[in-house]
Structure 1
Amino acid sequence: MTDTTNSSAPHIHGATTFADLVDWGSQPDSVEGQSHSSGRLVFKGPGNQPESGIWVCTPGRWRLSIPRDEFCHFVAGRAVYRSDDGEVIEVEAGTVVMFPGGWSGECTVIETMRNIYMLV
């Protein structure tokens, strides 16, 4: 089976291992290491809302600020998110996180992670 992103219900079969990813470049706002991102967009609506896809990121640490609510289902790897308020969120395969718009802090990817996400 293949991906069908132009369907009435866009989808990708085998999203946890899907390998036809696009190079999204180096992770911006790097603090340590050389994190690199790749992924595949599944759907982007009018005004870029909602947006959903697969995101893969290699080890490193960077600053981030979530622009709008983002639902993340981590299906591989390990990472630690630290909010500017000091909260620590450790993620690994099977973790689901709902980051509210405006959430800011740092992400440290320990082991290449794969995230199935939706920005709303």
Structure 2
Amino acid sequence: MPTNLLSSAPYLEGPAIYLGPLKDWGHQPNPISGNSKSDGVLLHKGPGGQPEVGLWQCTPGTWPLEIPRDELCHFVSGRATYIHESGEVIEIVPGTMVLFPAGWKGTCTVHETMRNVYMLS
């Protein structure tokens, strides 16, 4: 099944290896190290921006992070480390799924360009 972002139910085949166009979402703000660049594919954005669903790709670097709303992420490629402000460490490898609750604060370090399928609600 090929990717069809204009379908009545948009779908993306093989998110880990998707080679279609990605929209430039810019660099991560306030970098701690590196110059992480984000891009992705938006599948859906509802009224008031909720929910937002898509594919996000990010290059290596470290930055502070605060999650504004509940966000479910299924990481399909790459490696990263998320460190909560309490010191808890979450290691990301392909196949990891994380639910970041609204207000989660910490840092993200991308070690190897990563991709995740996400839903921000």
Unaligned runs of 5+ in 2: none
| 1:19-98 to 2 correspondences below 5 Å | 19=19, 20-98=21-99
Q: TM-score, normalised by structure 1?
A: 0.94
Aligned-pair CA distance for 1:3: 3.1
CA distance in 2, matches of 1:56, 1:106: 17
Per the TM alignment, residue 15 of structure 1 is displaced from its structure 2 partner at its CA by 1.8
- Please say if residues 29 and 64 of structure 1, whose CA atoms lie closer than 8 Å, have aligned partners that are also in contact: no
Return the offset for 1:4: 2.5
Secondary structure of 1:111's aligned partner: strand
Deviation at 1:88, TM superposition (A): 0.4
Find the residue that maps to 2:113 and give its secondary structure: strand
CA displacement 1:65-109 (0-9 Å, x = unmatched): 000000000010100000111110000100000000000100000
Of 24-33 and 73-82, deviating more is 24-33
| Further displaced range: 72-81 or 12-21 | 12-21
Q: What is the aligned partner in structure 1 of residue 5 from structure 2?
A: 5
Question: Could you list the runs of 5+ residues in structure 1 that have no partner in the other structure?
Answer: none
Q: Output the CA distance in 1 between the equivalents of 2:5 and 2:115.
A: 19
Instruction: Give the root-mean-square deviation of aligned CA atoms.
Output: 1.1
Identity of aligned residues (%): 57
Distance 1:96 1:41 in 2: 19
Superposition TM-score, scaled by structure 2 size: 0.94
Determine the structure 1 residue equivalent to 2:18: 18
Query: What is the DSSP-based 3-state SS (H/G/I as helix, E as strand, rest coil) of the residue aligned with 1:47?
Result: helix
* Aligned residue type for 1:31: I
Distance between the aligned counterparts of 1:105 and 1:25, measured in 2? 20
